[in-house]
Amino acid sequence: MNVALVVLDTLRLDAFREQFEWLPGHRFTQAWAPGNWTVPVHAAMFTGRSPAELGVHDKHQTLDCPDPTLAEMLGEIGYQTRAFSSNPNVSPVFQFDRGFDEFRGSWRLRGMKPGVFDWEGFIAANRLRGPFRYLSALSEVLFGDVETVPSLRRGLDIKLRDLGVRSTPSDDGAQEALSFVESTDFGDKEFLFMNLMEAHAPYDPPREYWTVDVGTDDRSWTTYPALLATITGGPPDPATGENLRQAYWDSVRYLSDIYEDIFTSLYESFDVVITLGDHGELFGEYDTWQHAYGIYPELTHVPLVISGDEVDNGMTDTPVSLTDVFHTITKFAGVENEDTDRSLMATGGSPCVQERLVYTEYHGVDDRNWQQVEGKGYDPSPYDERLFGVADENGQYGYQTMNGFTAPAECRDTLETYVEEYISSLDVQSLGVEDDVPESVQRQLEDLGYM
């Protein structure tokens, strides 16, 4: 059986409902992400464990846990495992390529490959040396312990971009993903993972999708340090909540159109296509921006659709977790694991969701954001705490904030008790402190608003 897992990064549930009516399959209307942003959610989907139990979240963003990953398990039973990612956080730099026979990245990831000369870091460290620094860099590329040809191509691309000769890419990688899918000769036992970033800041779809006019063709205003904006009361003009929301919706409309082409091509080669959003986005709701803080429902209540010729169309309203995607895929593929009852689908393609509590998590401020906020003279410590939430069997959601527990009045005490019991039962893992990431990675993270 061929299975594709496609993450539409940062896609809010309300935007999905409005723009993705065309997507066939079985919809899980009460799907909840285990975290508020990309890294903990992908780690949980790749292992079937919660971010706290796994130890991969804001405080440790590398997938170097001892748990086997989905791709590793499928590879062991003979699957061809492939990936295409547009997200620097889901890349070989952070070991998210574990188990994949082929891991491709969009233009954002190409300069981050292991063995490629770190041009951004070299330029930052040698700015005062003038033109002579390029001779030193060339010597490093030709005679150093790096991959020469990819490093030269990367350096040329950076120089042409800085000179304005090389135009910016047409999108955030979806066109490349479409070309990859259309040009790949998939076999009979395939697992494909994809991450598409068109709904993530900067909200910069092709020009024909723009409906926001702020007097500039530069969309850099849609990217800003999200935690800093949350602490200081919002991003600078013209990044108002209204403008950002509309620019985001423009991007989602483009994502829907390009993903329809990708999905159509995937459907020709894959028995099952799982489409989901890993988290949502905020535009000033709760005085919070992007997905920097908290487990608000607009961040954790996400789209999830399973499509296939043998999959029953319809809807399931029972709460499920994105961690269940791991167990669903392993069941489809015939991999034995301890929690087969957490699969969302029976072997025949019918939904088989069991009623249970579903939990969400937030694990504080990562080091890079901490340094940025502190460097601007603000205190990030109020945002540096663990928060947990729960959705009960009826889809009622309660969650912790720095101001207390939020839930519908009629079930507040019950939901808060569930959360307290969950916290006391957790076997929280700590994988230690990571080294600083290279300049080439930092540059991409800054462009996405992470730093």
Q: Would you write out the chain's pLDDT as a tens digit for each of its 451 residues?
A: 999 999 999 999 999 999 999 999 999 999 999 999 999 999 999 999 999 999 999 999 899 999 999 999 999 999 999 999 999 999 998 999 999 999 999 987 876 566 676 655 666 566 666 666 777 878 877 878 777 776 676 666 656 555 554 455 678 899 999 999 999 999 999 999 999 999 999 999 999 999 999 998 889 999 999 999 999 999 999 999 999 999 999 999 999 999 999 999 999 999 999 999 999 999 999 999 999 999 999 999 999 999 999 998 999 999 999 999 999 999 999 987 766 678 999 877 888 998 999 999 999 999 889 999 999 999 999 999 999 999 999 999 999 999 999 999 999 999 999 999 999 999 887 766 555 555 555 555 666 666 5
Helix or strand or coil: residue 46? helix
For residue 440, the model assigns a pLDDT of 54
Strand pairing category for 320-321 and 31-32: parallel
Strand pairing category for 80-85 and 102-105: parallel
| Nearest Cα to Cα of residue 96 among 167, 86, 295, 413 | 86
Beta bridge partners of 276: 7, 304
Dist. CA 96–CA 229, nearest whole Å: 29
Are 226 and 10 within 8 A, CB to CB?
no
Strand pairing category for 301-302 and 3-8: unpaired
Name the CATH superfamily for 3-106+169-447.
Alkaline Phosphatase, subunit A (3.40.720.10)
Strands (E), 60-214: 80-85, 102-105, 190-196
Are 354 and 366 within 8 A, CB to CB?
no
Q: Domain residue spans in the chain?
A: 3-106+169-447, 117-163
Containing H/E element for 113? none
What's the burial of 184, exposed, middle or buried (CB within 10 Å: 0-12/13-18/19+)?
middle
